[in-house]
Every structure is written in C-alpha cells, then in structure tokens.
C-alpha cells in the first residue's frame, strides 16, 4: 500500500513548518495549539488533508502561499515536512469535528499493528535498497517511514467524508492497479510512464562514480516526467473537481438559506391556512401577512422587525401590520414621499392608527386604504373605508373615539382632522400635520 501512495505524497502540495532548523520546537507548539487553540484543519478547502488551509486561516495567510512554502520547504528539506504534514492531519481536528483522527486512531489496535508491520517492511526494503544506493535512500527514504505509519492510521480512522475525499485522490492508482478503468490512452501513458520511471530509477540507484554528478539529476527528471505522464490527467481532473465542488457548495448554502426562509415562514403559513380553511377572514389575514413579509424580504431586502419606525412610511406600514394582525382586515397602504419622524408626526401617526383601528372595528368594510403623502410643508394621511359609515352630525357625545381623541391629538400638535362620512358610503378621515416642528401655528389644515 505504501508503495502505491508514495508518488502521490510527493505530488501533494501540502504544508507544514516554516523551516527545518526549528521543526522540533514548532512541532511541539503545533501539537499544543492544535489541541487547545482553534487551529483546525479545513476540509472545505482541502487539497489533501486541509492542513495548509487550516494553518492559512489560523495565521491569516492565503492557502496558496502556505502550500507553495510547504512544497519549497519539502524540496529543500529532502522530504522531511511530509511526515509532519501527515502528523498534522492526524492530530489536528477538522473544522466542526470535536476529536482529531489521532484520538480515534489510538483505539485502532489493528491499524497500529498494520502500520508497524508496514513500517518494518519498508525499513527492510529501504535497507536492501540502500545497498544499491546508500546516499539516496539515506537522504530521501527514511523520513518516509513515519509518513507511512501516519498515513495508515489516517486512512483507517478518518471520517467517512474524508475517506471519500482520499479515495478520490488515489483513484488513478486504483484504476491502474485494478485495470478496471482502462481507457484509451491509458495504455500508452502506462507504457511511457514505466519506461520513464524504469530509466529514472535505474539511473538513480546505479550510480557509477564516473557519471555520479549527472545521473541523479537526469534520474529525478525522468522519474518526475514518468509520474506526470501517468498521473497528470487525473490531477487535473481532481483540481477541476475541487473547484466545481466548492462552487456547488456555495450554491447549496444559498439554497439552504432560501429554503430555511421558505420553511420558517411560507410553509408554516400554508399549514396554518389549511387548518383554518373554514375561516375565510383568518385565511386572508394569514395570506396577507405572509405576502407582506415575503415581499419585504424579496424586494426590499430587509426583514420586518418590530423595532420602532423612524420615518412616516415605516410608521404607516407598521400600522398596517398591526391592524391586519389584530383585526384581520386588509389595509392597503400607499405612501408618497417620506421623511423622518418627530413628535408632531408621531402624534399624526397615533391619530392615523386610531382612525384605522376604528375603521377596522366599526365600519365592516372589507378593506381599508391608508394614504400618506409627505409634502414639503405638510404631511397628510387619509384613512378611508367603504363601510357602513355614519352621520357625522348624529354622533353621540360619548363616542369619544374619533371626535375627541383624533381631533384632540391633531390640534394639540398644530394639525387638523377632517371626517367625511355618509351612511352606507363609508368614512374618510383626513389628517394633516404641518411639517416644521418649529412652526407652532397650524398651517394648511384639512382640505375639506
């Protein structure tokens, strides 16, 4: 197994430490941090284990920078960073997971046994190989013994999603080994790769003194070329898949947001409507409240808060919401212009609210329309219904609602109110408030 995965290790551009001289201290720090502080691998942004992305996020670098640094250091340090990368993978918990792979691996006695067995096998192989070329094996070989151990433990204990990702990474190797995924072109690549690898390893391992300087270099080039020929297309595909996967995830998140919204409000309302199907008024009320909420979310990009209104337009819409919710009568609102609220305008809105509630309670109208217009000099609100109406001359003195409260409120703040009503034709209350708070004397006044 380790022989299969070895080439992929080299090609992974993972990341680890910032320099060979300090790796002991850093490894210590890393371990402590990884367990205590929020250094987390980021499987969302992974190329291999997400360690580079995790460190980048933790330290505020770009993941690409960290990965390049890692690859460079790997080349300089003769591959020493690879076991540490794998150590990080094993010991740093993934984002969102509470335990690292390592904590699970501790209980995996079969995995540990397998890892030790493979490690000793690899030692034997390396020992034999070093007879052929001691320098090379001593330089590049022994570091990878711990890598193999770590890789085995990771492989056996990673979470399902991570295993799926790893399987994706080594897919090319499996298809070579199994011969299942043989496609056109693969045969040619295989032949070319075997030739290149054979030549490369041959040159590397049989170094005669005479060409000692030339051959290792040529060997490395040939081996690299062989790997690229063999695996290049797959790596390209994997890189492409990663990009696709990420954008798909972004889309999925957006969809989740929308479906949460739909579920929270729309589906709930639909369920309520079905249950109240025998009460038409309630159904209309629910449908309208939902419509308004959805509309404000879709077209105005805001959610309806219960916070205080700060402008005339908001205030009127708040009246609309409250009256519809409490009295179940639809309120049609049209506003023209807008301006911030002050004391006088608050009084105007309070009077408008009262007139609207009054209409909802007594008029029997199917719909109430509220029209607010902010003009340079005054603000006018007209509340109108097509309900039963009344004879303004015949309102008994004890019906305080409109007569006192609305008139009183308006005149105290320098505004005016006009009530227009006829039996059987509905009622219209026109409220006018001059805009400047400073001008105490009433300006304008009811139009009729």
Partner 1 sequence: MNTQARTLPRVVLVDDHSLFRSGVRAEIGHRVEVVGEADDVGPAIEVIDQLLPDVVLLDVHLPGGGGQAVITAVKKDHPEVRFLALSASDAPEDVIGVIRAGARGYVTKTISTADLADAIQRVADGDAVFSHRLAGFVLDAFAAAPSASDVKPSFDPELDQLTSREREVLRLIAQGYTYKEIARELYISVKTVESHVSSVLRKLQLSSRHQLTRWAAERRLT
Whether 428 and 358 have beta carbons less than 8 Å apart is answered as no
Min CB(407)–partner 1 separation in Å:
21
Listed in sequence order, the residues at least 6 apart from 345 whose beta carbon sits closer than 8 Å to its beta carbon are 312, 315, 339, 379, 433, 435
Q: Which stretch binds partner 1 (CB under 8 A): 74-82, 257-265, 329-337, 352-360?
A: 329-337
Q: What is the DSSP letter of 401?
A: I
| Closest C-alpha to 114, from 161, 65, 148, 91 | 148
Residue 262 or 334: which CB sits closer to partner 1? 334
Q: Which is nearer to partner 1, 40 or 428 (CB)?
A: 428
Binder of partner 1 out of 6, 44, 108, 338 (CB under 8 A): 338
Nearest to 197 by CA among 1, 6, 2: 6
Separation between Cα atoms, residue 189 and residue 236, nearest integer Å:
15
Q: What is residue 41's three-state secondary structure?
A: strand
- Quick one: which segment of 28-36, 98-106, 108-116, 332-340 binds partner 1 (CB under 8 A)? 332-340
Q: Is the separation of the CB atoms in 60 and 116 below 8 Å?
A: no
Q: Are 15 and 67 in contact (CB under 8 A)?
A: yes
For the record, the structure tokens of 271 come out as 């369920």
Show the CA angle centred on residue 243, arms to residues 69 and 161, nearest 5°: 90
Closest separation in Å from C-beta 383 to partner 1: 9
Q: Which is nearer to partner 1, 157 or 363 (CB)?
A: 363
Provide the minimum distance between the beta carbon of 331 and partner 1 in the complex, in angstroms, as a whole number.
Answer: 11
Q: What is the distance between the alpha carbons of residues 178 and 4, in angstroms, rounded to a whole number? A: 12
| Residue 274: φ, ψ to 5° | -60, -40
Q: Which is nearer to partner 1, 2 or 428 (CB)?
A: 428
Closer residue to partner 1 in complex, CB, 349/365:
365
Q: What is the Cα–Cα distance from 220 to 230, expressed in whole angstroms?
A: 15
Q: How far is the CB of 447 from partner 1 (least distance, A)?
A: 9
Candidate segments 10-18, 86-94, 204-212, 297-305, binder of partner 1 by CB under 8 A: 297-305
Residue from 21, 38, 187, 337 in contact with partner 1 (CB under 8 A) = 337
Q: Which two tokens stand for residue 211?
A: 């060409």
What six digits make up the tokens of 165?
């990702």
Q: To the nearest whole angstrom, how small is the minimum distance from the Cβ of residue 186 to partner 1?
A: 44
Q: Which of 37, 278, 280, 299 binds partner 1 (CB under 8 A)?
A: 299
Site string for partner 1, 367-406 (x = CB under 8 A): x-x-x-x-x------x-x-x--------------------
The number of residues that bind partner 1 (CB under 8 A) is 20
Dihedral sign for Cα 307, 310, 316, 317, please.
Answer: negative
Closest separation between CB of residue 425 and partner 1, Å? 9
Site residues (CB under 8 A) for partner 1, limited to 254-293? 291
Question: What's the min distance (Å) between Cβ of 294 and partner 1?
Answer: 10
Eight-state DSSP code of residue 350: H
Among 332, 340, 400, 439, binds partner 1 (CB under 8 A): 332
> With CB under 8 A as the contact rule, which of the stretches 195-203, 294-302, 400-408, 434-442 interacts with partner 1?
294-302
- Look up residue 216 and give its two tokens: 């290792």
Q: How far apart are CA 66 and CA 63, in angstroms?
A: 5
Nearer to partner 1, 322 or 338 (CB): 338
Query: What would the x/- binding string for partner 1 be over residues 419 to 438, using CB under 8 A?
Result: ---------x----------
Structural element, H or E, at residue 88 = helix 81-91
Binding site for partner 1 (CB under 8 A): 291, 295, 298-300, 332, 334-338, 367, 369, 371, 373, 375, 382, 384, 386, 428
């Amino acid at each position: 197994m380790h022989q299969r995965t070895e080439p992929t290790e080299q090609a992974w551009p993972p990341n680890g430490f910032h320099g060979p001289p300090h790796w002991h201290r850093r490894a210590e720090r890393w371990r402590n941090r990884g367990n205590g502080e929020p250094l987390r691998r980021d499987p969302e942004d992974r190329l291999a284990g997400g360690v580079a992305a995790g460190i980048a996020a933790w330290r505020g670098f770009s993941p690409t920078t960290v990965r390049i640094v890692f690859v460079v250091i790997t080349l300089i340090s003769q591959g020493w960073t690879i076991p540490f990368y794998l150590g990080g993978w094993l010991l740093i918990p993934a984002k969102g997971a509470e335990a690292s792979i390592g904590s699970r691996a501790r209980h995996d006695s079969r995995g540990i046994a397998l890892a030790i067995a493979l490690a000793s096998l690899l030692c034997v192989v390396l020992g034999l190989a070093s007879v052929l070329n001691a320098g090379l094996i001593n330089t590049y070989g022994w570091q990878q013994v711990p890598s193999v151990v770590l890789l085995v433990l990771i492989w056996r204990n990673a979470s399902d999603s991570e295993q799926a990702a790893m399987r994706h990474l080594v897919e090319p190797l499996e298809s070579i080994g199994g011969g299942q995924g043989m496609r056109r072109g693969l045969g040619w690549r295989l032949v070319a790769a075997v030739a290149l690898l054979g030549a490369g390893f041959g040159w590397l391992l049989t170094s005669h003194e005479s060409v000692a300087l030339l051959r290792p270099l040529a060997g490395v080039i040939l081996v690299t070329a062989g790997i690229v020929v063999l695996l290049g297309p797959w790596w390209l595909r994997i890189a492409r898949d990663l990009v696709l996967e990420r954008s798909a995830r972004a889309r999925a998140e957006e969809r989740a947001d929308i479906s949460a919204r739909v579920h929270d409000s729309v589906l709930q309302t639909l369920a309520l409507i079905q249950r109240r199907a025998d009460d038409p008024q309630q159904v209309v009320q629910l449908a309208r409240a939902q419509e308004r909420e959805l509309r404000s979310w879709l077209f105005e990009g805001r959610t309806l808060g219960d916070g205080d209104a700060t402008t005339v337009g908001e205030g009127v819409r708040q009246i609309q919401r409250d009256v519809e919710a409490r009295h179940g009568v639809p309120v049609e609102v049209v506003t023209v212009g807008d301006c911030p609220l002050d004391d006088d305008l608050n009084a105007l809105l309070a009077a408008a609210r009262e007139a609207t509630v009054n209409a909802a309670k007594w008029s029997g109208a199917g719909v109430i329309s509220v029209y607010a217009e902010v003009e340079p000099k005054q603000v006018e609100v007209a509340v109108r219904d097509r309900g039963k109406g009344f004879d303004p001359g015949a309102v008994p003195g004890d019906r305080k609602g409109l007569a006192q409260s609305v008139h009183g409120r308006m005149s105290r703040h320098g505004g005016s109110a006009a009530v227009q009503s006829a039996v059987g034709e509905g009622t219209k209350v026109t409220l006018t408030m001059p805009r400047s708070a400073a001008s105490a004397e009433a300006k304008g006044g009811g139009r009729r």
